[in-house]
Amino acid sequence: MAALYHGLAGGDAGDKREGPRFDLASFGSYLERQAAAIRVKTGCEEVQFRLAAEDGKLKLKARPLASPAPMPQAAADGGPPRS
């Protein structure tokens, strides 16, 4: 989370962008709210955030990560498949 925040806040010395208009704690709360909404909408367990440059501006992007598929019972207990 801190890396995303600092990515939005900074850049190199020649960068004239304004930093975020919120502090790190507020940014963390925002990410948690967004992740919770995405989890509810998609049913995923995890959400991955990244920064992407579009039209000369940094944008925050989120992607739901697929939940691992449940193991069949036979594979889980090491026995042969049951019919």
User: Amino acid identity, residue 4?
Assistant: L
pLDDT tens digits, the chain, 83 residues: what are they?
Answer: 888 888 877 744 445 556 567 788 999 999 999 999 999 999 999 999 999 999 988 889 999 998 666 666 655 556 555 55
Predicted model pTM: 0.64
Q: Angle, nearest 10°, between helix axes 2-9 and 24-42?
A: 120
Does 29 map to a domain?
A: yes
Q: How many domains does the chain have?
A: 1
Question: 41 lies in which domain range?
Answer: 2-10+22-67
DSSP string, 14-53: T------SS-HHHHHHHHHHHHHHHHHHH--SEEEEEEEE
The answer to whether residue 78 is domain-embedded is no
- DSSP-derived pairing of the beta strands 57-65 and 46-54: antiparallel
> Distance between CA 59 and CA 69 in Å, rounded?
31
> 48 in a domain, yes or no?
yes
In a domain, 49, yes or no: yes
Residue 56 lies inside a defined structural domain of this protein: yes
Q: Is residue 41 part of a domain?
A: yes
In a domain, 52, yes or no: yes
In this prediction, residue 22 carries a pLDDT of 78
15 belongs to a structural domain: no
